[in-house]
Structure 1
Amino acid sequence: MERVLTAKGQATRQRIVEGAAGLVRRDGVAAVGLDDIRAVTSTSKSQLFHYFPDGKADLLLAVARYEADQVIEEQLPHLGDLTTWRKWQAWRRRVIQRYAAQRDGCSLSTLTAQLGLPTEERQQIVGDLLDRWLDYLMKGVQALKDSGEIGTDVDVRKSAVTILTAVTGGATMLVATQRIDYLDTALTEALDNLRRPRS
């Protein structure tokens, strides 16, 4: 049974997770030890093991969940209100700006490439993230369809999957090359495709 924390306990645990996430983003998981995390979060050894009994393994799992949440949080409120074409374009600009600023320090890169989680746990966390992200995009595509801004024959799920793949694929290429144009081009093309007439 999961332990219920007090408000103070939740704040302490969150401080540890955020501190660890910042270190992993900056230095990579292999270079970050528990003493580094304790130092940056002003946490005692007993405190750290109180919240994360299995030590680094527990903490990295919490960091992974935190980073998955951050992928979504960094796109809000835009991602949650894709009800007009203008708002879709505002979301696109935000995505490009965030990834251009963060480069290989982005939450998505940390989650998928740096944490070194066991395959099953990583797949579960990443799968849940992509499902949530896809749900937002599908609601946005459906809103455009309902308002008549795109054709009634647009396949909502396929379009949302194409857009999501453009972002995640473009972000992967950004990390590999440090070039934002892959993400910018792929996402712009995926969105423009929504408005193209169907044969």
Structure 2
Amino acid sequence: MSEASTAKGRATQARIVGGAAEVLREQGVAFTTLDDILDRTRTSKSQLFHYFPGGKDELLLAVARFEAERVLEDQQPHLDCLDSWESWYRWRDAVVERYELQHDQCPLGSLFLQVGRTEPGARAIVAELMRQWQERIAEGIRTLRARELIPASVDVDRNAAALLAGIQGGVSIMMSTGSSAHLKAALDSGIDQLRHAAAGAGRAEVN
């Protein structure tokens, strides 16, 4: 009975978070009230505070975690299959498409503005998202290296960090200007750098 109640509780909590995320995406954090979320999720106020005793701030953190997970999910299956140059460009297109669909809105960024990036919970969510994202890019670079598509001398972690930094910079500019040109350039430059390393190794072997 206890296990069933726990499973039911997790399902209810997930329903509230998912519904809240939909409302926040549609209306924006600044224009969304608890009543809007209650209406969308068909939840009573007492039930919401049962699962989120900290109220709106705690719920916003849960939604931020949900949105952070979506950042990685929206890049699948490409992010976990970076085993050829073609797959890298498919991933590149998926990243660009994701942010172009958002236009100048970033649900995750808006949520962190609301709860405050200096809050320990918010910082932990950002840190974990970036850690996972960089590690998956790094794993793709290791796969290229294992398949001898790039030389063993390529610094995996440095290139993964540079690619992620380029993406974040491109997204920031896109949020300000509405143009994805910088995001595309950052991704293309990062992938080109890896390909140039491979070409350079090939020329060295010939010589």
1:19-168 pair list within 5 angstroms: 19-113=19-113, 115-116=115-116, 118-168=118-168
Note the C-alpha offset of 1:27.
2.8
CA spacing shift, 1:113–1:75, aligned 2, 3 Å: farther
Q: Distance in 2 between matches of 1:50 and 1:154?
A: 51
Gaps of 5+ in 1: none
SS in 2 for 1:79: coil
Q: Is the 8 A contact 2:64 2:108 kept in 1?
A: no
User: % of aligned pairs identical?
Assistant: 43
SS of match in other structure, 1:32:
coil
For the residue of structure 2 that corresponds to 1:63, the secondary structure is: helix
Structure 1 residues 55-64 or 10-19, which shifts more? Answer: 10-19
Q: Distance in 1 between matches of 2:64 and 2:127?
A: 12
Using the TM superposition, give the Cα deviation of residue 107 of structure 1 relative to its aligned residue in structure 2, in angstroms: 4.6
TM-score (norm 2): 0.86
Other-structure match for 2:18: 18
TM-score (norm 1): 0.90
Question: Residue 171 of structure 1 aligns to which amino acid in structure 2?
Answer: V
Between structure 1 and structure 2, the one with the greater Rg is 2
The separation in 2 between residues aligned to 1:69 and 1:157, in whole angstroms, is: 22
Question: Counterpart of 1:163 in structure 2: which amino acid?
Answer: L
Residue pair 1:26, 1:105 contacting (<8 A) in 2 also: no
Per-residue CA deviation, residues 144-186 of structure 1 (Å, 9 max, x unaligned), is 1111111222110011011111111111111111101110111
Give the number of aligned pairs. 197
SS of residue in 2 equivalent to 1:80? coil
Q: Which amino acid aligns with 2:162?
A: T
Shift of 1:109: 3.1
List alignment gaps of at least 5 residues for structure 2: 202-207
CA distance in 2, matches of 1:130, 1:64: 14
| Range moving further from structure 2, 22-31 or 176-185 | 22-31
* 1:173 matched residue in structure 2: 173
Instruction: Identify if the C-alpha distance between structure 1 residues 111 and 142 changes in structure 2 by more than 3 Å, giving closer, same or farther.
Output: farther
Taking only aligned residues, the RMSD between alpha carbons, in angstroms, comes to 2.1
